[in-house]
């Protein structure tokens, strides 16, 4: 009896053990499945929070980020095959062929934009190096995946919230958002205007400041008069910029009448630029009442077409656009006062910098005195102390705004800030007519307009 009982007991024990083993195995398997899942859930939560933070007017759960359906209309939104530059071509010049003196004469002093090639081939962020086995092995290359490996936990700015505070995501979260394969029905793939990293603080932070060593200032842009203000006081001037297709920068003029260079490390960017013009102003380029919401892609869909019409250039007298696609390894030069908008055609990584040179100092100084009066004073003191009496003299000669002639007033307001408003009656008339035309054009996309109103 005892023996049988023991046998039975043994048998039950064995069964129990087996059961518990299988149970544990399943538990392990389940946990294994759940572990990354939980991580993904956490990242999705962070993405939703970043979206709510940067665009509180759009409901994340009710499809606010996908309401236009641009993601399902790539053929249209991102198609640049028949791109026409109405005003002429943006010249491409090779840094190997054009000397800095020639660049100053032909582009800088004439405020002519251009695309510079052959200037980044030696930059660690762009170089393709191969190891002995012929495998690509440059860990400093700026791809989203490599940046994630280097800075997984560092947080990059994707926008600002309603109180003006920076909204940030870790590199791991942002890479997850961009990873279309791992993340086919979530993340950037469906968003009309995806999150875009535009971060000017990376070069000041302990972990990420090493990024500064991964590129050079192109020789054409070595002069930077704002450096005299001092690093802490000077306005933001350098940004690391990366994001998925359909992200971008809506139409604007760079602040304080500064010029910029924008080096594309990977991907393709579509640019449109309008030359400085007295009458060109924010109400013309960003008319109210057509559903513009600050997104670059929406601007390209709804406002850009108006600038391609006869009404715009021949009747309205507005400048025609320069349109161009910038490729990886190319640097765009944007002179001060040019309105411009940028749309990322693919996933892109770029670095951009704004600057002030001696020939444009007068305009930058006027804009700084108006926009940042305290800083402009400090700047002037420092310029004098550093022996730039020439610039000091130029600065004190600059008329106050009230002393400008009517013409100068209009031109300086449109070139010094993205908020430039036109103040002539002529421009007001033009605006009314162009607004009508814009509405008419917007109606052509009838279906899309109606869908939007329903949301």
Our finding on whether 258 is near ligand AKG (CB under 6 A) is no
**Residue 289 backbone zone (phi > 0: left; psi -120 to 50: alpha; other: beta):** left
For the CB of residue 246, give the shortest distance to ligand AKG in the complex, in Å: 12
Q: Which is nearer to ligand AKG, 253 or 427 (CB)?
A: 253
Whether 229 contacts 368, CB under 8 Å: no
In the complex, minimum distance from the CB of residue 380 to ligand AKG, in angstroms, rounded to a whole number: 25
Task: Name the binder of 262 from Fe ion, ligand AKG, none, CB < 5-8 A by kind.
Answer: ligand AKG
Residue from the set 350, 351, 431, 442 that interacts with ligand AKG by CB under 6 A? 350
With CB under 6 A as the contact rule, which of the stretches 17-25, 247-255, 274-282, 358-366 interacts with ligand AKG?
Answer: 247-255
360 touches, from ligand AKG, Fe ion, none (C-beta below 5 to 8 Å by class)? none
The β-bridge relationship of strands 331-334 and 339-344 is: unpaired
d(CA 412, CA 398): 12
Residue count (the chain): 455
Q: Using CB distances below 5 to 8 A depending on partner kind, what does residue 276 bind out of Fe ion, ligand AKG, none?
A: none
Q: Find the binding residues for Fe ion in span 197-256 (CB under 5 A).
A: 254
Of 194, 204, 200, which is closest to residue 174 (Cα–Cα)? Answer: 194
- Residue 241 interacts, among Fe ion, ligand AKG, none and using kind-specific CB cut-offs from 5 to 8 Å, with ligand AKG
Q: How far apart are the first and last CA of the chain?
A: 78
Q: Cβ distance 87 to 113 under 8 Å?
A: no
The pair of three-digit structure tokens given for residue 396, joined into one six-digit string: 């004190």
Q: What angle, 0 to 180 degrees and rounded to 10, lies between the N-to-C axes of helices 2-54 and 171-178?
A: 90
Our measurement of the distance from residue 317's CA atom to the centroid of its chain's CA atoms, rounded to an integer in Å, reads 29
248 or 267: CB nearest Fe ion? 248
Q: Report the C-alpha gap between 77 and 22 in whole angstroms.
A: 53
Residue 89 Cβ vs ligand AKG, minimum distance, rounded to whole Å = 20
Contact track, ligand AKG, 106-135, x by CB under 6 A: ------------------------------
Q: Which CB sits closer to Fe ion, 173 or 254? A: 254
Pick one of ligand AKG, Fe ion, none as the site partner of residue 316 (Cβ within 5 to 8 A by kind): none
Binding mask 352-371 for ligand AKG (x = CB under 6 A): x-------------------
The SS3 of residue 323 is strand
CB of 162 to ligand AKG, least distance (A): 22
| Interacting positions 394-423 with ligand AKG (CB under 6 A) | none
Binders of Fe ion: how many residues, by CB under 5 A? 1
How far from 120 is each of 197, 263, 328, CA to CA, in Å?
22, 8, 10
Q: State the minimum distance, in angstroms, from the CB of residue 372 to ligand AKG.
A: 17
Which of 54, 208, 258, 262 binds ligand AKG (CB under 6 A)? It is 262
Residue 31 burial (CB count, 10 A): 11
Question: Which of 154, 173, 179, 254 contacts ligand AKG by CB under 6 A?
Answer: 254
**Least CB distance from residue 361 to ligand AKG, whole Å?**
20
Measured distance CA(365)–CA(226) in Å, rounded: 10
Contacts of range 147-151, beta carbons closer than 8 Å, 24 or more positions apart:
147/171, 147/175, 147/242, 147/349, 148/172, 148/174, 148/175, 151/207, 151/208
Binding site for Fe ion (CB under 5 A): 254
Binding site for ligand AKG (CB under 6 A): 241, 248-249, 254, 260, 262, 269, 340, 342, 350, 352
């Amino acid at each position: 009896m005892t023996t049988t009982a023991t046998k039975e007991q043994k048998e039950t024990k064995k069964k129990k053990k087996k059961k518990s083993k299988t149970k544990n195995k399943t538990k392990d398997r389940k946990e294994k499945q759940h572990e990354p899942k939980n991580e993904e859930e956490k990242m999705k939560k962070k993405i939703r929070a970043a979206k709510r933070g940067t665009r509180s007017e759009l409901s994340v759960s009710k499809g606010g980020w996908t309401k236009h359906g641009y993601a399902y209309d790539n053929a249209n939104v991102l198609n640049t095959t028949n791109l026409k530059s109405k005003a002429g071509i943006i010249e491409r010049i090779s840094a190997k062929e054009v000397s800095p003196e020639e660049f100053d004469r032909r582009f800088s002093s004439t405020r002519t934009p251009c695309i510079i090639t052959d200037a980044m081939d030696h930059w660690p962020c762009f170089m393709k190096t191969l190891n002995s086995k012929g495998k690509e092995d440059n860990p400093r290359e700026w791809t989203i995946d490599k940046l994630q490996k280097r800075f997984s936990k560092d947080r990059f700015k994707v926008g600002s919230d309603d109180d003006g505070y920076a909204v940030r995501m870790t590199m791991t979260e942002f890479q997850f958002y961009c990873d279309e394969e791992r993340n086919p029905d979530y993340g950037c793939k469906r968003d009309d205007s995806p999150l875009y990293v535009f971060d000017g603080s990376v070069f000041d932070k302990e972990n990420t400041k090493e990024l500064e060593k991964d590129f050079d200032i192109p020789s054409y842009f070595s002069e930077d008069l704002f450096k005299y203000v001092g690093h802490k006081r000077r306005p933001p001037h350098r940004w690391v910029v990366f994001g998925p297709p359909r992200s971008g920068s809506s139409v604007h003029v760079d602040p304080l009448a500064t010029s910029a260079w924008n080096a594309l490390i990977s991907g393709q960017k579509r640019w449109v630029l309008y030359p400085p013009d007295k009458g060109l102003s924010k109400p013309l380029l960003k008319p109210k009442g057509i559903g513009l919401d600050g997104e670059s892609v929406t601007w390209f869909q709804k406002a850009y077409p108006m600038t391609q019409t006869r009404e715009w250039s021949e009747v309205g007298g507005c400048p025609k656009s320069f349109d161009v696609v910038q490729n990886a390894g190319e640097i765009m030069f944007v002179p001060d006062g040019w309105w411009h908008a940028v749309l990322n055609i693919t996933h892109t990584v770029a670095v951009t910098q704004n600057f002030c040179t001696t020939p444009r100092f007068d305009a930058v100084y006027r804009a700084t005195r108006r926009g940042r009066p305290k800083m402009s004073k400090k700047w002037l003191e420092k310029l004098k102390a550093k022996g730039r009496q020439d610039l000091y003299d130029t600065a004190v000669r600059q008329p106050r705004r009230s002393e400008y002639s009517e013409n100068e007033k209009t031109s300086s307001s449109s070139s010094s800030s993205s908020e430039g408003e036109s103040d002539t009656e002529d421009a007001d008339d033009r605006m009314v007519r162009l607004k009508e035309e814009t509405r008419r054009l917007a109606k052509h996309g009838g279906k899309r307009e109606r869908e939007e109103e329903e949301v």
